[in-house]
Amino acid sequence: MSHPDPLDLLRHRLDASTRETPECLDDATLAALAEGGLGAAGRATVLPHLAGCPRCRGVVASVVRSLADRAVAREVAAVEGRGRRRWLGIGLSAAAAAILFVVAVPRWVNDSIGHRGPPLPGAVVPRPLAPLGTVAEAKALRWAAVTGADRYRVILFDAAGRALYETQLSDTVVALPDSVTLAPGRPYLWKVEARTGWDRWSASELVQFSIAGER
Amino acid sequence: MEGWAAELASGRPDAAWDLFLDRYRRLIFAAIRHYAQDYDDVMDVFARVCEALREGDLQRLRTYAAQPDHRARFSTWLVTVVRHLTVDWFRHRDGRRRLSVVAEGLPPLRRRIFEHVFLDQRRHIEAYELIHAREAPTLSFKEFLGELRATYSAVTDGRRGRVLGELGGTPPAEEAPAAASPNDIADTRALLEQAFGALSAEDRVALELYVVEELPAADVARILGFPNAKAVHNRVYRALAAARARLAQVGIGRGDL
């Protein structure tokens, strides 16, 4: 009989369950494990469970892989960098936060959300014209035409990222229907995508606006 | 204290939410996109993440903020939460329907395997027993394993491949064990558990994360508090040698599996 190779044996195991059980570790502990933030005492407490639980091991491995993802790592670095400055004691007033929102938000999706076929090299992206920033009212969305585009897709989001309105059309302006109610003082975001070829869409930056008035 | 946490502590959940979302929106999207590449999936999962985080007046954020000490950075905790919410979204309702589309092009048997393993998260042996009992009484376990590998290969290769990999767990090995039935596998598994179960919890986790999950040794070292990747290699090597010796003692050889 040949000597068994435990590596093969481990990989041949066929009935590991990935279902969550009441004993499974909570999110804070899984995050701490993935980050290496548990001290010796903490590890000693959780390792017996981790040794016997494929589900929790899988989650830890999954979070480690996610944190190693270049896009995720970039965003983590961005928020942790900002976080350190805040921990130095620079509190943000509501007004300052609002300014930060206006400055930071317009790029929130543009470089992270791809859609179907990429735009052709050199393709022009649509440019939102109005509303932008704080406006007295917003009854329509308007953008600059893109040469060669035969169709536009417009999406309006609230601050939570919920799509409030979405439509496709060939014009460069769309009136918001009465069913879309915009509250004064609340931030809204919208973007427009131009179809520049078969299954190819080029998207504008996500821009922010709000209706003037008290929240 | 971060701005959102201060607003939350002051009883202003709406303001807290605006600050939180302003600060972490891009990270949430990046974490979702690690698992989901389809545009509509990403947007729907983002809406679900926001909904879940807002539930109970931001109960999840409130619970995190109330912890006396934080063993992980908030961003790591958030990535963990987003991972769960993303996988759960695909497992239920709308997400499940979207994933079902992946299976439409599969032959009937592989479609059934897909449902059991990826959507219902059944163990491979459990999936075999259900299929064998209900609809394919002549299907041998070895044939099933071949179909299982083909199913993994087919569905984890597309735009939804990464999240399906999360749902399906560890894929079966490239070479099927020689065991003829699930009972043989179960018996052998008991012996394997005995051999690997004799290892310390630390060695077992090192082995599983490095061998089965295929994490880099440096990551395993960080998780387990080892000084460096070399320490992981040493521990895994020794653990494998110990397991090999125990398996040899009970007469299990490679050809038995």
Give mean pLDDT, residues A26-39. Answer: 92
- Alpha-carbon span B198 to B195, nearest angstrom: 6
CB nearest A34 (choices: B202, B211, B223): B223
Helical packing angle, B13-35 and A54-68, nearest 10°: 90
My answer on whether B151 and B203 are in the same domain is no
Judge whether B33 lies within some domain.
yes
- Alpha-carbon span A60 to A37, nearest angstrom: 12
Judge whether B66 lies within some domain.
yes
**Minimal CA–CA distance to A11: which of B245, B251, B145?**
B145
My answer on whether B76 and B105 are in the same domain is no
Q: Residue B202, SS3? A: helix
CA distance B43 to chain A (A): 8
**Strand A151-158 vs strand A163-169: parallel, antiparallel, or unpaired?**
antiparallel
Taking only the tens place, the pLDDT of each residue in B117-174 is 877 777 777 788 888 888 888 888 778 888 888 888 777 776 677 777 777 666 666 6
More confident residue, A37 or B154: A37
- Looking at the structure of chain A, the number of domains it has is 2
**Which CATH number fits the domain that encloses residue B213?**
1.10.10.10
- The pLDDT assigned to A3 comes to 46
- In degrees rounded to 5, what are phi and psi of residue A181? -105, 120
Contact state of A58 with B219 under an 8 Å Cβ cutoff: no
Taking only the tens place, the pLDDT of each residue in A152-168 is 889 898 877 777 888 88
| Boundary of a domain, candidates B59, B91, B123 | B91
The residue of chain A nearest to residue B83, with distances taken between CA atoms, is A63
My answer on whether B102 and B78 are in the same domain is no
As a whole number, the mean pLDDT across chain B is: 83
Q: Which of A62-71, A144-153, B174-183, B187-196 is predicted least confidently? A: B174-183
Q: Which of A63-77, B187-201, B231-245 is predicted least confidently? A: B187-201
Taking only the tens place, the pLDDT of each residue in B85-106 is 998 888 876 667 777 777 777 8
- Write out chain A in H/E/C secondary structure: CCCCCHHHHHHHCCCCCCCCCCCCCCHHHHHHHHHCCCCHHHHHHHHHHHHHCHHHHHHHHHHHHHHHCHHHHHHHHHHHHHHHHHHCCCCCCHHHHHHHHHHHHHHCCCCCCCCCECCCCCCCCCEEEECCEEECCCCEEEEECCCCCCEEEEEEEECCCCEEEEEEECCCEEECCCCCCCCECCEEEEEEEEEEECCEEEECCCEEEEECCCC
List of chain A residues whose C-beta atoms are within 8 Å of the C-beta of residue B210? none
B126's tokens: 């459990």
Work out the pLDDT band at A102, boundaries 50, 70, 90: very low
Whole-number Cα distances in Å, A162 to A143, A194, B1, B141, B251: 21, 21, 28, 47, 60
Work out whether the CA dihedral B208, B211, B216, B218 comes out positive or negative: positive
Work out the pLDDT band at A65, boundaries 50, 70, 90: very high
| Boundary of a domain, candidates A70, A90, A123 | A70
My answer on whether B199 and B143 are in the same domain is no
Taking only the tens place, the pLDDT of each residue in B22-33 is 999 999 999 999
What does the CA dihedral A207, A211, A214, B5 come to, rounded to 10 degrees? -20
List of chain A residues whose C-beta atoms are within 8 Å of the C-beta of residue B34? 65-66, 69, 71-72
List of chain A residues whose C-beta atoms are within 8 Å of the C-beta of residue B252? 4, 9
- Look at phi and psi of residue A38 and say left if phi exceeds 0, alpha if psi is from -120 to 50, else beta: beta
- The pLDDT assigned to A108 comes to 40
The residue of chain B nearest to residue A93, with distances taken between CA atoms, is B3
- Alpha-carbon span B193 to A14, nearest angstrom: 12
- Looking at the structure of chain B, the number of domains it has is 3
The residue of chain B nearest to residue A36, with distances taken between CA atoms, is B223
Judge whether A123 lies within some domain.
yes
ipTM (interface pTM): 0.81
Q: With pLDDT > 90 as the criterion, what percentage of chain B qualifies?
A: 35
- The pLDDT assigned to B203 comes to 92
- Alpha-carbon span A109 to B226, nearest angstrom: 38
Determine contact, residues A164/A180, Cβ cutoff 8 Å.
Answer: yes
My answer on whether A65 and A110 are in the same domain is no
Judge whether B176 lies within some domain.
no
- Alpha-carbon span A110 to A94, nearest angstrom: 26
CA distance B89 to chain A (A): 15
| Boundary of a domain, candidates B133, B168, B203 | B168
Judge whether A146 lies within some domain.
yes
My answer on whether B18 and B73 are in the same domain is yes
Taking only the tens place, the pLDDT of each residue in B31-55 is 999 988 888 888 989 999 999 999 9
My answer on whether B15 and B76 are in the same domain is yes
| Boundary of a domain, candidates B31, B61, B91 | B91
Judge whether A162 lies within some domain.
yes
Judge whether B198 lies within some domain.
yes
CB nearest A6 (choices: B54, B222, B244): B244
CB nearest A76 (choices: B46, B64, B75): B75
My answer on whether B67 and B30 are in the same domain is yes
- Alpha-carbon span A202 to A88, nearest angstrom: 41
Contact state of B29 with A116 under an 8 Å Cβ cutoff: no
Work out the pLDDT band at B189, boundaries 50, 70, 90: low
CB nearest B71 (choices: A6, A38, A71): A38
My answer on whether B19 and B69 are in the same domain is yes
Judge whether B174 lies within some domain.
no
**Which CATH number fits the domain that encloses residue A196?**
2.60.40.10
Judge whether B49 lies within some domain.
yes
Work out the pLDDT band at B2, boundaries 50, 70, 90: confident
For B222, the domain range is 182-256
Determine contact, residues B86/B98, Cβ cutoff 8 Å.
Answer: no
For A185, the domain range is 106-211
Judge whether A18 lies within some domain.
yes
- The pLDDT assigned to B95 comes to 64
My answer on whether B87 and B12 are in the same domain is yes
Q: Residue B236, SS3? A: helix
